[in-house]
């Protein structure tokens, strides 16, 4: 547990969610997705971790067992149950998870909540909030929270590098468009920046947060003009 916070540093809250309502190909309608796994960590711009949490959402994981069978990663349910028993994940309700996030935002004076393809996590957490509370509460994060998107950041920095483009074409990490383009998933970018070409993304909340924190730090080190804010176009570093 952190006992001293260096106020000279800027702190960020990295988040990743896993949701129900996935189709057979793994695609999700983010406006209807319900979070059963929410992982997050307080980080700085270098990717250092200060606190981390792995929550299984009680109302969804246990309270909607029939819906859980639609989750693209439903085969991971036994591992979740094992992790819960072992104390590696905590079962909590929506209110408790929201309260923990609010506490961290206030405690560290969080600059921004960060996610890869942040619109998905932003939308899914709101959808979960509205579903569980029957729209009594519509927004999961506190009013005024700033959101950064490492997908945008990477597209404006890492993905523009010729070496990244060559890496993607050499390994088939390209879109299926008529004119293929390098893909920019967290897994592919992580493989590139670490050289771990056999890496496979866990697709569990906190574990994915830890790799996305490294992507965030890598982008920040570029000191280049990039888009960061989810709801704005272009920002200077």
Q: Tens digit of pLDDT for each residue in 80-120? A: 999 999 999 999 999 999 999 999 999 999 999 999 999 99
Cα separation, 60 vs 14, in Å, equals 22
β 90-92/12-19 pair status: unpaired
151: part of which helix (H) or strand (E)?
A: helix 150-156
At residue 181 the predicted structure's pLDDT band, cuts being 50, 70 and 90, is very high
Cα separation, 166 vs 192, in Å, equals 11
Nearest alpha-carbon partner for 36 in 106, 94, 110, 83 = 94
Cα separation, 67 vs 17, in Å, equals 16
Summarize the confidence of residues 134-140 as an average pLDDT: 95
**14 neighbors 114 (Cβ within 8 angstroms):** yes
Q: Tens digit of pLDDT for each residue in 21-63? A: 754 445 556 667 899 999 999 999 999 999 999 999 999 999 9
Nearest alpha-carbon partner for 125 in 55, 75, 187, 78 = 55
What's the Cα-to-Cα distance from 14 to each of 19, 51, 53, 72, 158, rounded to whole Å? Answer: 17, 10, 10, 23, 19
At residue 125 the predicted structure's pLDDT band, cuts being 50, 70 and 90, is very high
pLDDT at 12 over 50: yes
β 12-19/147-149 pair status: unpaired
Q: Which residues contact 89 (CB under 8 A, 6 or more apart)?
A: 37, 54, 55, 56, 80, 83
Q: Looking only at Cα atoms, what is the longest distance across the chain?
A: 54
């Amino acid at each position: 547990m952190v006992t001293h916070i260096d106020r000279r540093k800027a702190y960020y809250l990295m988040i990743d969610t896993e949701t129900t309502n996935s189709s057979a190909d793994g695609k999700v309608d983010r406006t209807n997705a319900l979070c059963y796994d929410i992982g997050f960590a307080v980080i700085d711009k270098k990717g250092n971790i200060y606190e981390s949490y792995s929550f299984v959402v009680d109302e969804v994981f246990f309270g909607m067992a029939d819906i859980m069978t639609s989750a693209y990663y439903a085969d991971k349910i036994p591992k979740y149950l094992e992790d819960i028993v072992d104390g590696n994940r905590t079962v909590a309700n929506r209110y408790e998870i929201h309260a923990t996030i609010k506490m961290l935002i206030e405690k560290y004076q969080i600059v921004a909540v960060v996610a890869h393809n942040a619109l998905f996590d932003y939308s899914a957490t709101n959808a979960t909030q509205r579903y569980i509370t029957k729209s009594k509460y519509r927004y999961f994060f506190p009013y005024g929270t700033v959101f950064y998107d490492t997908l945008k950041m990477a597209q404006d920095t890492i993905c523009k590098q010729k070496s990244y483009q060559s890496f993607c074409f050499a390994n088939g990490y390209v879109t299926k468009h008529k004119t293929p383009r390098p893909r920019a998933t967290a897994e592919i970018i992580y493989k590139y920046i670490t050289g771990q070409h056999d890496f496979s993304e866990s697709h569990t909340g906190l574990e994915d947060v830890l790799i996305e924190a490294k992507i965030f730090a890598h982008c920040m080190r570029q000191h280049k003009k990039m888009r960061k804010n989810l709801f704005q176009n272009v920002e200077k570093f």
